Each structure stands twice: as C-alpha cells, then as structure tokens.
Structure 1
Amino acid sequence: MSADAAALGGRRGSGTAKVALTAYEARIPMARGFRHAGKNRAETASVLVAAEWGAVTGWGEAAPREYVTGESPDSVRAALERGVPASVADWIGAPLPDALAGLLALDLPTFLGEPGRPAPAAAAAVETALFDLVCRSAGVPGLRALHTAGFGDLLADRAAPVPVATVLDLGRDPAERLAALPAAVRAAIPHVKLKAGPDVAPVAGQVARVRDLVPDATVSVDANGSWDAGEVLAHAERLRSAGPAWLEEPLAPRSWADMARLRGAGLRVMLDESFSGAADLADCLTHGAADLLNLRVSKCGGPLRLLTLARAARAAGLGVQLGVQVGEVGPLWAAGRLIGTALREPVAVEAGRQDEWFPARPAFTAPGYQVDRAASRAPALTGPGIGLRPTWALLERCVPCRPPRQEAGQEDQ
C-alpha cells in the first residue's frame, strides 16, 4: 500500500485537505454517427473531471444531454466552478467506510445545480471522480468499495463478464444488420434494442423481423419520446402480437397519465428521459406509469446515486436496465462496467460501441475499451477504483478548463 493509501485508511480528515477539480471538454468526431428520434450524434460531448487530493487523482466524466437532464457541456463547466462541498474536508482523509459514507451523504446534483434545477450529469462526473479518488487512495477495487458502501444486496461478490445488449440505431436497417452477422454471433445476443422514429405503424413489423433473426433474445423498442399516445394505442394490438419485451420512453418525457394508459393497454413501459432521480420515481409510482427504469450513470448523478435509485426501484417492484450515453469516452463507461459486471438480475445491460466510434490505436484509456462482439460479453475491469485512466492520447484532444482551485474546507457556495 502506498503512503497515500495508508494515510487515507488511517486518519480522519483534518479540515485542511484540498480537493482540486480540473475539467477537460472532449468534443471528438465519431467514426460512425448514431441516430435516434431525438438526436443525430456525430461527435462526443463529454466533460472529463480530475479530482486531485495530494498526489492522488480520481477521474470522472459527464455526458450532458439537454434532452435528458437539461444540461450541456457549458452548464457542466459552469457547475464545476463551484468545486466540492465544504463537508468533503470532514471525510476525505477518513477510513474507507467513513469516506464512502461521506460521499453518499453529498447531494451533488443540488450543490452543483441552480435553484430548482439540479445538475445530475455534472454530479456524476464529480461523484465518480471522488469515488475513484477514495478507492485509489485506499488501494481497493471499486466493487469492494461498493460493497463497503452498503450495496451488497444489489451486487454479486465478484465481477464476471456480462452479456450485453445490441443497440440498433436509425442509421441502418436493423434486420439487414442482424442478418449480416454469423448465426453463432446472433445466437449469443441476449437483448436487442431497436431505435424507432416518430412513425409507430412500421414498428410491429420491424420487431417481428428482428425476433425471427434472434429468437432467443428479448427485443425492446426505444422511441426516445417521439410517439403520440393515441397512435400507440391504435397500434397496441399489433405491437403486443409482435412481442417487444417493453417500450422505452415511448411518449414525451413525464407524460405520466398517458404512459399509464399504454400500460393499461397491455404494453410494458420503461422510463429513460423521464427519469433521473427520486422525484421522477415518486411521480412514476403515483401514476403507475412504468414497469421498468433505464439507469445511466451520467443522468442519475454517479455510480452511488445510481445504485441508490436501483434499490428504490426494486423495492417498488420495477425492473432496471443499465444503459449508457452515446459517446462516453472513458470514466463513464468504466463506472457503468463496474456496476454492470456485478449487478444482480438487470433486464438488460448496455456497453456502448466505442470500438466502432473511436480508433483502437491510440487508445483513449488504459486499459482500452473491451467487448467481445462474437460472444456479446463485456469483461470486468481490474485495478483500484473504476479501473481505468484516460491516456494522453485522449487528453491532448480535449480542451482543458480548470475551475478555480477550492479548498474542501471552504464554505459551501
């Protein structure tokens, strides 16, 4: 164990510890774009965050999406100027259980947001960076820390390669893309997510064709909030017959009553853009608006907040999917991988397509992105914290934007 690890594991915060945040905006062209009903994305839009405490650095990432949480790279950069809450000084040098308890107690979406407008994407970057920092200082892997933080009821004791979903966007015909794969590769796919445009009419036929090609997989449809409730109800019988396992965000976000109507017509509903925190979960339950939730690290406010929301969802009888934001460049997919390779009984796990979007060499991260496409499995990362660091090849393509250094003992702003 390093001297830093011994220090973090054996002393209380002194009130004089300094945690400095450094932000890097990553706007990197993607080798292949990704199109859905809400966006045609051809480049990343991430903000990387380094949290430094002495000689130790933890890494996080925000993937702000205005149509999901109302945030943008500009708003994340502005939020990061607030630094970290003053209470960090109370636990940054504490034993691991106390440090994790202190991190869990932070309300970063509120602290980093504006009155009435929380900032979960910015919070995800800071929470992930602080979590990684605490783990690296203590020399422990992230999964062990998540168990220490009290999430053992949701997570396996050991990480294992996880079957990952295949997500088919609107840029290519889904049946043609699947038909081009070898039969053995299709047979290994556990779940297919079809992105859908605003027209409901052709979707049942698309689902049926996909189910013929992957009969052992579950199939869902993600409309990204583009459908009209009346149209969906008019096609409800055909959709039920085609057999999608669920419809993800079929209507405009937070159309609680109309989504409950879809459920009343026998269609299972998953929330995505409609859900980013406890208030949305409460509204969903009040209206009986969903069967499942899509949890993503960036929109939920970080890995610890995601697991807290997963626990609440399961207590309410809702299933959960672990999703991703398109174009995650490093710490975000690592945080998702940390959870995905240990989460108990998700309905589906997504892993992104960084191997299509970005060049393998030079690698953006160490270790580099890994998914076995032939087996549709994603391996766990090893090492302390989230198990990954950005490389210089990534950082040199980013624009550094360092907020004012803040002492963790400063007053909250």
Structure 2
Amino acid sequence: MITFDFHKVRIPFRFSYGHAKKRHSELEAIIVIATDSDGVQGYGEAVPRTYVTGETCESILHIAPTLARQALAGGEDQAAVQHCLGEIANQPSDTVPSCALCAIDTALLCLEANRQGTSVAKMLGGELPCELVYSASIGLGNKAAMLATLLSYRAAGIQHFKVKVGGESDFRRIKWIRRILGADITLFADANAKWGREEAVRNIEQLAKLGVWALEEPLRTADPPETIHGFLNRRLVLDDEHWKTYQWLRDRSAIPLIADESLICPQTARNIIDYKAFDILNVRLSKCGGTHLSGEMIQIARTAGLGFSCCAMVGETAILATVGSHFATAFADHKLVQGHSHRVLHRTRFVRGEPAMKRGGKLRVEQVSGLGLQLDTDGLEKVTVSHERITT
C-alpha cells in the first residue's frame, strides 16, 4: 500500500526570468510524497508549462491519482512500475500527460531507492561519485538586472551558458554578454518558438558569426485550443507540417538545432528522427515524462546518432533538480547539463541536503539514500496552495 500526497505549491522568485514566450515571477509546481506502509518515503515533482506540454497544475491533479493507480497495476517493483508508465506514454492517443507521469515516476523511483538504501543515481545505472559541470541560463530582461546576474556568474566561474533570444537587439546583447563574461565562454541560444522560417535563417547566420554553437527551438508554432482543466493538447500542433518545416530549416541552418518544445514524449522523438528535423534532443524530466521515458528518448537519439542534453525547467525545486543530477550521471555522454536555478531564484525553500554547487558550476553526486534530501514539512505547508491525498 502506498499513499500519495499531492501538493500544489507556489514559490515567489527573487527576480523575474523572461524569454520570448513567458516571463516567470514565481514557480507553480506539483510536489508528490509517496509513503509506503513502513513509513518510507519518496519525493517527486512536476513543473507544468502550457507552452511546452500543454499541462497545468490543475490538469495534473485531475489525472495524477488515476496514473498512480495505473503505475502500480503490475506491483510495486520498479521494473513493473516503469513498464506500466511506458505503456501509458506509448498508447495510441493524441495526448500524453508527460508532467503528471514525471511526478509519479520520480516519487516512486525515490521511494524504491530509499527502500533499498541506495541512491537514485545507482538505480538508474550511474557511476558514483560523479562530477557534473552545469551550464547557466541568461534570460531576457532589463540591463541592470542582467548585469548583476552576469557578474554573479563570472564570480562563480561559470563557463557554459544558454542565452535567451527573440527580443530586441539580440546580437548586440550577445556581444555585451561576451565582454562581461569573457571571450572563451561557450554559448548556445534559445528562441522559444519566436521566429518565422526566413527570419530564422537570417538570425541563425548572425548567431553563427557570433560564435553561438547551437540554437534551440526557433520556429513559431500556434497554440492549440484549451480543453479541460486548462490543458492544451500540443500534440495537435506537432503535426506533419511542423516536422517538415523544421526539416527545411535544418537543411539551411549554419549551426545545430536543438529540440525542446517539440520533444514531449517518445513518439515526438521518433518523429524528429524520421523527419531529420533536429540535431540534439533537449531532455527535461518534467516535460519528457520522468526518468524512464527520458531514458527511452535518449536511447532513440543515440541509435540515430543524435546528441542530447540533460536539462531542467526554470525554477524547479531542489527535488526535481536533484533527480536531474542523479539522472545525468547515468547518461554521461550528454552535450550539456542544466538545472538548480532555484538556488538563485527562490525566495524560500523547504528542502535540505541537496548537493553543493561549486566554482565553475561543478556538482558532485555522491552515494546517498534516495536523493539524500530532507523535507521541511512546515516550510512545505507555507508554500502549499492545495493538498490532496490518495491511497493505492
């Protein structure tokens, strides 16, 4: 018997973070605590963004109890759980609740690791200890706030960055960023589906001249109509025309293209391969359905000779950020790794025990039980907007 507690949380940011699609001033997420009959717990998380998977906190809370029961239909053994989750994601359907699946997947994986007294990294096949080198993200915003962020990155010795584009004066801003951070930094860009086809080709040529090594998700897509609980079925716009347009752009791009909003389930990964639409898959646990399905997408990329990255949703808490670190240890051939933005964004925290981030963005994952995290239950209650409990 496993009890699931679903907490919808809202955490304000110290400062807003913006890109071409959205400006974020707070985190809304679903925190899941899975507790077995012996009192052993596992922690999970989902961070929905409608412009990515189409999901909302409300749509997750609506479907998560059903998914939890379905995940355990074959028993509590981790292999059986992952098989059930995989069947849900790969069933013939226009919709895949990727964020909701991530919430269940991560909580049950952490629970099983704690039961076995081993780490999530070991459960996933990672070699420990493992040192990861993190990239940081530079959003769109006013120059004074951006300068403060850049100076903090420089002081921390960060060398690898994602820079958001799709605003005004992108190219002047990139030159300015290099002057602040140094000519030897590595930069890739993210347009968050801002540009049309011809505009994208022109901008890619300029980005390449500025030493930007790759571009994430540049082409504009329409938003599908809203359905129940605010859910947007983004699979409707990831259609044949979408993939053919990216194939057209990839043939003309001077730098590699990274799939992000176009990658939300295993079928979209297969579409990317079939249409030769992208060069690199940006795997983020919350939008890709958790650890098992993310691993499946990485295997699809490897088989096709494509690269992949292990990245994160902006502002996710220490729970999902730490799962992401453990996950990355099992896929050491990643192009880059991102996460832990909560360390600079969140005004309040309710998790202790996360691994330390050292100079240069270096984070060492050690052998721990589960994720090695402890929840401050009072702190969690302070940021909880709603709470639901089910027992399976």
Which bin holds the TM-score, normalised by the shorter protein? 0.7 to 0.9
Cα 1:109–1:58 shift into 2, 3 Å = farther
- Distance, in Å, in 1 between the alignment partners of 2:264 and 2:211 is 28
Displacement of 1:386 in angstroms is 2.5
Q: Which residue of 1 aligns with 2:199?
A: 231
After TM superposition, the structure 1 = structure 2 runs for residues 2-17 of structure 1, keeping only pairs within 5 Å, are: none
Q: Which residue of 2 aligns with 1:328?
A: 316
After TM superposition, the structure 1 = structure 2 runs for residues 5-404 of structure 1, keeping only pairs within 5 Å, are: 18-54=1-37, 55-82=39-66, 84-85=68-69, 88=72, 90-92=74-76, 99-107=77-85, 110=88, 116-147=94-125, 155=126, 157-173=127-143, 176-177=147-148, 180=151, 185=156, 188-198=157-167, 202-212=169-179, 213-253=181-221, 254=238, 255-265=242-252, 266-359=254-347, 363-368=349-354, 370-372=356-358, 374-380=359-365, 382-397=367-382, 398-404=384-390
- Distance, in Å, in 2 between the alignment partners of 1:179 and 1:331 is 26
More strand by share: 2
Cα 1:76–1:175 shift into 2, 3 Å = closer
> Is the contact between residue 315 and residue 345 of structure 2 (CA under 8 Å) also seen in structure 1?
yes
* AA at the equivalent of 1:136: N
- Distance, in Å, in 2 between the alignment partners of 1:285 and 1:108 is 20
Cα 1:279–1:392 shift into 2, 3 Å = same
Displacement of 1:259 in angstroms is 2.2
Judge which range, 202-211 or 383-392, deviates more. Answer: 202-211
Cα 1:112–1:287 shift into 2, 3 Å = closer
SS of 1:239's equivalent in the other structure is: helix
Structure 1 stretches of at least 4 aligned residues deviating more than 6 Å after TM superposition: 111-114
Instruction: Give ranges in structure 1 of 5+ residues lacking alignment.
Output: 1-17, 93-98, 148-154, 407-413
> Is the contact between residue 108 and residue 123 of structure 1 (CA under 8 Å) also seen in structure 2?
no
Question: TM-score when scaled to structure 1?
Answer: 0.81
Instruction: Give ranges in structure 2 of 5+ residues lacking alignment.
Output: 222-237
Name the larger-Rg structure: 1
- Distance, in Å, in 1 between the alignment partners of 2:198 and 2:346 is 40
- Distance, in Å, in 1 between the alignment partners of 2:344 and 2:150 is 19
- Distance, in Å, in 1 between the alignment partners of 2:288 and 2:314 is 15
> Is the contact between residue 89 and residue 266 of structure 2 (CA under 8 Å) also seen in structure 1?
no
Judge which range, 314-323 or 101-110, deviates more. Answer: 101-110
> Is the contact between residue 355 and residue 369 of structure 1 (CA under 8 Å) also seen in structure 2?
no
> Is the contact between residue 312 and residue 321 of structure 2 (CA under 8 Å) also seen in structure 1?
yes
Judge which range, 70-79 or 102-111, deviates more. Answer: 102-111
Q: Percent identity?
A: 26
The count of residues paired between Structure 1 and Structure 2 equals 368
Q: Give RMSD over aligned pairs.
A: 2.7
- Distance, in Å, in 1 between the alignment partners of 2:71 and 2:18 is 42
- Distance, in Å, in 2 between the alignment partners of 1:328 and 1:251 is 25
> Is the contact between residue 354 and residue 372 of structure 2 (CA under 8 Å) also seen in structure 1?
no
